[in-house]
Amino acid sequence: MLAFIFLVSTGALAQTSRPNENDMFGAPQKSVNRDQEGLESSKPAHDAFASGEVIDNALQIGGLLYQRFNYSVLKNSGASNDPVSMPTQFDMYLDARPNDRVRGFVDARFLYDSSRDQYGNTGSGTGAASAQYSSGSSAPSGLSTANTAVVNPQTVIDQAWLKFDVDRTVFVTAGKQHVKWGTSRFWNPTDVLSTQKRDPLIPYDLRLGTNMVKVALPLEGKKSGLYAITLLENTTPASTAGQLGEALRAETVIANAEMGVDAVYRFNTAPVYGADISAPLGPVDVYLEGAYVASAPGAHYDLVPNGFTSGSDLANEYTQAQNQQSAAQVSGGVNYSFGWRENRLATVGVEYFYNQLGYKDARSYPVLIFLNQYQPFYTGREYAAFYLTAEGPDSEKHTSYTFSTLANLSDSSYISRVDFSWRFLTYLTFDAFVDDHYGRPGGEFNFALNTPAMTYHGSNIPATSVPATVVDLGVALRLAF
């Protein structure tokens, strides 16, 4: 059953980086009475193309070719053992707009990494501890013991949706699509419609879309609207009616402040309630968002003293307590934009994230990784970030620079990164980055691991040694067409 919520029409829609309803469907046009025109033989024949009912060249084809090379320098490993990865992404989309009220969009994605075998394993079998920070993987490569094979190469569907309107008042989008909530730059606790968390260190959101049916009722006169979403994908695809999820959101604009509240209900999962606000405050912009989880998901794990004994069972190396209480996640920040030279803009900002579901220290990280429960950027209890972005000095404004530092305040580990982007030859963009890991060894952003051979419920876990990463380097080429 669909539920209805409020949606802001202009300003808040722009934050989602998605086109507004007029961009999607075109401005309303006068309807045509074909029967009446057919009877009036004295009038010229009806031109469906001129009326907008049919559009010439209604199908557009385009895509993106994204090639990357990542290199990590590991501590005391020797240059020949430093890991590299070479992921390639190719997107091809079909965008059909037969008239101003109907649109269909399909984006198929092809993924291939020449540095890995057909099952996604590296040649060394250990991978890079920093892979999560340089190439967007969900956990330090080579550490997960989950029995899930990754096909390489792989073809997936990123988006596949249909959009249409009902009486030019209610707008429906059905299928696999992107819907992102939240106002923060690095941590988005209210971005819960996707089953994956975004990697904030990658300049572009590479997550796949989520299957849903979205109903929007803009109320432009009140700078508000209604939103209703039925989720067809909740960690796993919903195969019964009881596994469907519901999402509600209310957004509005009051004075210069854009704000919203939302709620998400999923099968076999505690409800999540969220709110966000962003507004100018004098010369700066401020933003805040928070999520309240009615019952904390999963369990809390703690490594027992003197754990990880050679030959022991992993189940005996940690304690597990089921989370029963509610939990809160809150992020917020402030940024200031200024001209660093004539016609060149720069923005400096800070952000803080409190995660009640996170851990206060790094002792439990190895257990989380082995149990496939490790969630980068959401594992610690407290985080902070500083960033500075600037348009380049080139005359055509085709270059940009970003410096950022992320800190896991709970385990005292840090990562600082510099990104450079240069668009040339109209359609081609060159990206490069370098980052540095430092702080307490074993922390999230300065991760290292050395565990003996163990067992887990009768299955063997080989000895694992992952050196700390000193520096990551990466270059990429993006061709949009």
Whether residue 161 contacts residue 173, with contact meaning beta carbons closer than 8 Å, is answered with yes
Whether residue 400 contacts residue 390, with contact meaning beta carbons closer than 8 Å, is answered with yes
pLDDT of residue 18: 38
Rounded distance between C-alpha atoms, residue 4 and residue 247, angstroms: 8
Confidence of residue 59 (pLDDT cuts 50, 70, 90): very high
36 pLDDT above the threshold of 80: no
Report, at the CATH architecture level, how domain 11-28+52-480 is classified: Beta Barrel (2.40)
pLDDT of residue 158: 96
pLDDT of residue 364: 87
Backbone angles phi, psi at 269, to 5 degrees: -140, 140
225 pLDDT above the threshold of 50: yes
pLDDT of residue 229: 97
43 pLDDT above the threshold of 50: no
Distance of CA 450 to the CA centre of its chain: 31
* Residue, of 361 and 228, whose pLDDT is higher: 228
pLDDT of residue 222: 87
- Core vs surface per residue 363-382: b (16+ CB within 10 A) or e: bbbbbbbbbebbebbbbbbb
Rounded distance between C-alpha atoms, residue 371 and residue 365, angstroms: 10
- Core vs surface per residue 38-53: b (16+ CB within 10 A) or e: eeeeeeeeeeeeeebb
Rounded average pLDDT over 109-129:
74
Q: Which residues contact 200 (CB under 8 A, 6 or more apart)?
A: 185, 186, 187, 377, 406
91 pLDDT above the threshold of 80: yes
pLDDT of residue 55: 64
Task: Quick: pLDDT tens for 457-481.
Answer: 888 888 888 899 999 999 999 999 9
Task: Quick: pLDDT tens for 430-463.
Answer: 999 999 999 999 999 999 988 888 888 888 888 8
Q: What is this structure's pTM? A: 0.82
Confidence of residue 234 (pLDDT cuts 50, 70, 90): confident
Distance of CA 444 to the CA centre of its chain: 19
Rounded distance between C-alpha atoms, residue 381 and residue 95, angstroms: 43
Rounded average pLDDT over 234-244:
82
Backbone angles phi, psi at 372, to 5 degrees: 60, 40
Q: Which tokens is 269 given?
A: 């999962």
What mean pLDDT is reported for the chain? 83
pLDDT of residue 359: 92
Rounded average pLDDT over 75-102:
92
pLDDT of residue 237: 77
Report how far apart, in Å, the C-alpha atoms of 166 and of each of 95, 170, 263 are.
21, 5, 25
Rounded average pLDDT over 360-373:
87
Q: Which tokens is 66 given?
A: 């994204």
Rounded distance between C-alpha atoms, residue 208 and residue 323, angstroms: 29
Helix (H) or strand (E) holding 38: helix 34-39
